[in-house]
Amino acid sequence: MAKADGPFNEMGMSDEVRGPYADIERWLREMPSDKLELKRREAETLFRRVGITFAVYTEGGDPERLIPFDIIPRVLARAEWDRLSLGLHQRVKALNAFLADVYGERHILRAGKVPERMVLGNESFRPEMQGFLPPAGAYTHVAGIDIVRLDADNFYVLEDNCRTPSGVSYMLENREAMLRLLPDLCGMHKLAPVSHYPEDLLDTLKSVAPPACRDAPTVAVLTPGSYNSAYYEHSFLADEMGVELVEGGDLFVDEGFVYMRTTQGPKRVDVLYRRIDDDYLDPLTFRPDSALGVPGLFAAYRAGRVTLANAVGTGIADDKAIYPFVPEMIRFYLGEEPILLNVPTYLCERDDDRKYVLEHLHELVVKETRGSGGYGMLIGPQSTAADRAVFADRIKARPADYIAQPTLALSTCPTFVEQGIAPRHVDLRPFVLNGREIRVVPGGLTRVALREGSLVVNSSQGGGTKDTWVLER
Amino acid sequence: MLSRTADGLFWLARYMERAASVARLVQVGNRMSNMSLSLDNPGNEWRSTLIATGTEPGYLAKHGEIVPSLVLDYLVLDPENPSSIVSCIETARRNGRAVRTALTVDTWEALNETWQQTRALKADRLAADSLPGLMDWVVQRSLLFCGSYANTMLRNDGYLFTHLGTLLERADNTARILDVKYHVLLPDHEGVGGVLDYYQWQSILRAVSALRSYHWVYHDRLKPWLIAELLILRPEMPRSLVACLAHVVDLLEALAVRYGGQRGECHRLAGEIHARLRYGRVEDIFQFGLHEYVTQFIDDMLRLGQEISGFYLNVR
C-alpha cells in the first residue's frame, strides 16, 4: 500500500499545482475570503429554501438539518474518471454476478473462493431469494461504491453499497447550486454533465419491468415516509422521473398484483424503486411488525408481477465481511484483474488476523460488519487507551462482527472552513446503474470531513459535501 | 393520482387559507378592541374572534378567562392550538412536504419559506405596533401560495384538489364570520345604526377584505342586509358563499369528467347547496333566520367535506 509523507493533496502544492486544478487554484488565489463567505451563505440559503435537508436522530436542535456544502469543487480529469469508471463497471458486474450465483447455483462457494459459512450463515443472506432470478438478472440496480484515493494513481474501494444507497440528490443539487452561485468558474471549465441521472435511472427501472407487464411499465418510488432521513431524496427522484412517490399504505396486493390507491381507483404498479430496507418490505415475509411495507409484496415479486429495485437480499454483496472477497469475485466471474483496489482487511474471526488486530489497534480502523453511517467505528490513531480497551473486549466477545483495516491517508481537497481555505479529507461515492446495461454518470458525491485531521466523512458525523467535477478536457 | 397525495394537497390548501383567515380575524379583533368607544367590555371582541376560529373551548380550557394578550398568543403563536397561525402553517407545510412531488418548485418554495420565517417568530411580534404588519405578512404569504399554485401547477387533478381545498375553506371562513357576527346584522338589534354598529359592520367586511368592494357594488352606506347579501349571495364577491360554491361545483364536475364520469353524493350535495345560494333571496334568508341559515350552511359544508373525502381522498 502506498505511503506518502503526508496525505495526497488533489490540488497539489502551491509550487506544483496539478493540471485539473489549475483554474481553481488561480480562482482561489484571486477570491477574497469575504466573497467566498458570501457565496457560502448564499448556498446555505438556497439549500434551505429548496428544503434539501436530512433528519438527524439526536437530541434537540433543528430536526431538519442541512448537510454543509463546500463551494470549492473537487475535480477529476477525464482520464482519471475513465479509469475509475471502468473499474466501477467491472466491480458492479462482479457483485451482481455474485448475487445471482449465491441465490442460484453457488458456484463460487463450491469452488471454495468464498467460505460458504460466511455467506449462508450471514444475516444479510435472504434464503427467500434462493432459486429466483429477477428480471434481466439484475440485483443491484443502483449501487453506490465508496472510493478513496491515496495518491495520484491509486483508487481504493472502501465499501460497496448495494442495498438502498443514498446521496445522489446531493450530487445533482450540488451541481445546480454551483451553476447558480459560481457561473463564471463553471463556465471556465468544460464539465461533464450529471443532470440526466434521473432519466438514466428511469430507463434502468423500466428495463427491468416484470414479465407480467405487457404495456409501458408503471414505475413508482417507495419511501418509508416524510420522517425518513433521506425523504428529500426520495421525493426529489420521484419528481425528477415524473413518477409517483408512494408509501406502504398507498399500495396493496390483490390477486397477486400490486396496486396504488388513487383518486380513480386502483392502479397497477410494475416497478418499485424501493427505499425501504428488506426487513420492512412485507410483514408477511419479513418483519411482521413492519407498518411501512405491503403485505403480499414479496410473493408478487417472486411471481414476476412486480420488480423491486434493488432486489431483495443484495446486502450479502456489500457485507463488510464479504468485502475482502470482491477481488476474487472479479477474477472468478469475469476472468479479469480488478481495476480498483481493495483495502487490505483483517477478518477478526480468523485467529491470525484477530491476533494482529488486537496488537495493532492503535494504528487500525475497526469496523462493525453490520454498522453503517460511521457509527460503531474505532479509529486507532485517534483513539484513547480506554476506547481501545472497549473494542478489544468487543472483538474478543464477538470476533465475527468486526473487521479491521489500516488507517488510510485519504486524499485531501482545498475546502473553505472557518480558518480559511485548508485541505480536508474526502471520499467519493459514484452511483452505478445496472439494468440491462451498466451506466455511470460522471462524478458522484464527494463527501468531505470538515474537521481538521478527521477521516470520517459521514454526514451524520459532521461531514459535508462538494460538487464533483469531471473535466471533459 | 394517489389518494394520499390528493388528500395532502387538499389539506395543504385548506390550512394555508385558514392561516390567512385567522390573520384577518385577528386584525379585526385588534382594531375593534383598540377602539376606545368600543365596548364596555373589550373582551367580547376577542371572545367572538375565538368563536369564529372555532378555538374558544381550547382557549378557555388552557387560560380560563379572556385576556387579550393571551388570546393573541393563542391565536397566532400557540403550537397547542391546532388553528393558530403557526400551527396552520406547520400543518400546511407538513402536508406539503409529504406530497412534495405534486407541488411545483415555486409553490413549494412559497410554502417552505413561509414556514421557515414562521418558525423564527418571537412573542415580541405581537406588540401593538408590529402586530398589524405581521398579520399583513401572513395574508400576503397565503396569497403568494395561492398565486404560485394557480400560476404554475399543471391543470390536472392535483390542481383541482388544491383549489377545492382553498375554496371549501374560504366558504367555511366567510360563514363562520357571519355566524359569530350575525346579531349585529339583524334588524331588531338594539341601537340600530349607532356608531358602534357601523364599526361592527365595517369589521365584518374587513375580515373578508371586502370593505371597498361593498362600496363598488352598492354605492351606498353600509346596510346590514346588503352586507349579508354581499357575503352570501353576490357572485361577483370572491369570498361570498355563492361564489365559492360555484367554483366548488365546477371543480367537482371537472374531476368527474376527468375520471370518466364517475359522480357521487359529493357532486349532488355541492350542486344542491349551490342552487340554494344561486336562487336564494336575502329577504327569505332573514325571514328564515340569518343565524339558522348560516348554521345550516356550516353543517352542509362539513358534510360536503366528508363526502369529498370518502369519494376521493380516503378510499380504502
Q: Are residues B26 and B55 in the same domain?
A: yes
Four-residue CA torsion sign, A131, A282, A57, A465: positive
Residue B262 with chain A: CB contacts under 8 Å: 264
Asked if residues A143 and A160 have their Cβ atoms less than 8 Å apart, the reply is: yes
pLDDT higher at B297 or B52: B297
SS3 of chain B: the string is CEHHHHHHHHHHHHHHHHHHHHHHHHHHHHHHHCCCCCCCCCHHHHHHHHHHCCCHHHHHHHHCCCCHHHHHHHHHCCCCCCCCHHHHHHHHHHHHHHCHHHCCHHHHHHHHHHHHHHHCCCHHHHCCCCHHHHHHHHHHHHHHHHHHHHHHCCCCHHHHHHHHHHHHHHHHHHHHHHHHHHHHHCCCCCCCCCHHHHHHHHHHHHHCCCHHHHHHHHCCCCCHHHHHHHHHCCCCCCCCHHHHHHHHHHHHHHHHHHCCCCCCHHHHHHHHHHHHHHCCCHHHHHHHCHHHHHHHHHHHHHHHHHHHHHHHHCCC
Every domain of chain A and the residues it spans: 344-407
According to the model, what pLDDT value does residue A58 have? Answer: 53
pLDDT single digits (tens) B240-295: 999 999 999 999 999 999 999 999 999 999 999 999 999 999 999 999 999 899 99
Greatest C-alpha distance within chain B: 59
- Quote the distance between the C-alpha of residue B272 and its chain's center: 21
Four-residue CA torsion sign, A376, A379, A383, A388: positive
Q: Are residues B213 and B65 in the same domain?
A: no
Q: Is the pLDDT of residue B40 over 80?
A: no
Interface test with A, best of B100, B112, B157 (most A CBs within 10 A): B100
Picking from B130, B153, B176, the residue at the C-terminal end of a domain is: B153
Whether A261 sits inside 8 A of B316 (CB atoms) is yes
The amino acid present at A424, given as its one-letter code, is: R
Question: Crossing angle of helices B157-185/B241-258, nearest 10°?
Answer: 160
Q: Are residues B120 and B216 in the same domain?
A: no
Q: Are residues B278 and B217 in the same domain?
A: yes
Q: In angstroms, what CA-CA distances link A147 with A18, A144, A382, A444?
A: 20, 9, 22, 10
Rounded distance between C-alpha atoms, residue A118 and residue B208, angstroms: 71
Q: Are residues B43 and B87 in the same domain?
A: yes
Asked if residues A346 and A356 have their Cβ atoms less than 8 Å apart, the reply is: yes
According to the model, what pLDDT value does residue A5 have? Answer: 64
Reported CATH class of domain A344-407? alpha beta
According to the model, what pLDDT value does residue B35 have? Answer: 67
According to the model, what pLDDT value does residue A55 have? Answer: 64
How many domains does one find in chain B? Answer: 2
Looking at A108-112, A124-128, B44-48, B72-76, which range is the least confident one? B44-48
Residue B109 with chain A: CB contacts under 8 Å: 49-50
Q: Are residues B300 and B259 in the same domain?
A: yes
Interface test with B, best of A62, A263, A269 (most B CBs within 10 A): A263
Asked if residues A370 and A321 have their Cβ atoms less than 8 Å apart, the reply is: no
Asked if residues A392 and A398 have their Cβ atoms less than 8 Å apart, the reply is: no
Question: Crossing angle of helices B195-207/B224-232, nearest 10°?
Answer: 10
Mean pLDDT of chain B: 90
Residue B119 with chain A: CB contacts under 8 Å: none
Rounded distance between C-alpha atoms, residue A235 and residue A231, angstroms: 6
Q: Are residues B143 and B160 in the same domain?
A: no
Whether A226 sits inside 8 A of B260 (CB atoms) is no
Question: Which residues in chain A land under pLDDT 70?
Answer: 1-5, 14, 54-63, 371-375
A vs B: CB pairs below 8 A: 60
In 3D space, the residue among A295, A245, A271, A281 whose CA is nearest the CA of residue A138 turns out to be A271
Q: Which residue has the cell 443539487?
A: A173
Q: Are residues B190 and B299 in the same domain?
A: yes
Of A50, A238, A250, the CB nearest to B101: A238
Residue A263 with chain B: CB contacts under 8 Å: 1-3, 6, 157, 161, 255, 259, 312-313, 315
* Residues linked to residue A439 through DSSP beta bridges, in sequence order: A433
According to the model, what pLDDT value does residue A199 have? Answer: 95
Whether A263 sits inside 8 A of B116 (CB atoms) is no
Residue B113 with chain A: CB contacts under 8 Å: 49
For the record, the C-alpha cell of A336 comes out as 479479469
* Cα end-to-end distance, chain A, whole Å: 30
Question: How sure is the predictor about B191, in pLDDT bands with cuts at 50, 70 and 90?
Answer: very low
DSSP reduced 3-state for A227: coil
- Chain A nearest C-alpha distance from B311 (Å): 8
Determine what percent of chain A is predicted with pLDDT higher than 70: 96
Rounded distance between C-alpha atoms, residue A219 and residue B21, angstroms: 40
For the record, the C-alpha cell of A72 comes out as 470549492
ipTM here? 0.70
Picking from B99, B120, B153, the residue at the C-terminal end of a domain is: B153
According to the model, what pLDDT value does residue A4 have? Answer: 46
Residue A66 is classified by DSSP as P
pLDDT single digits (tens) B224-235: 899 999 999 999
Rounded distance between C-alpha atoms, residue A112 and residue A100, angstroms: 17
Q: Are residues B258 and B143 in the same domain?
A: no
Of B101, B312, B316, the CB nearest to A239: B101
Q: What is the domain extent for residue B211? A: 155-316
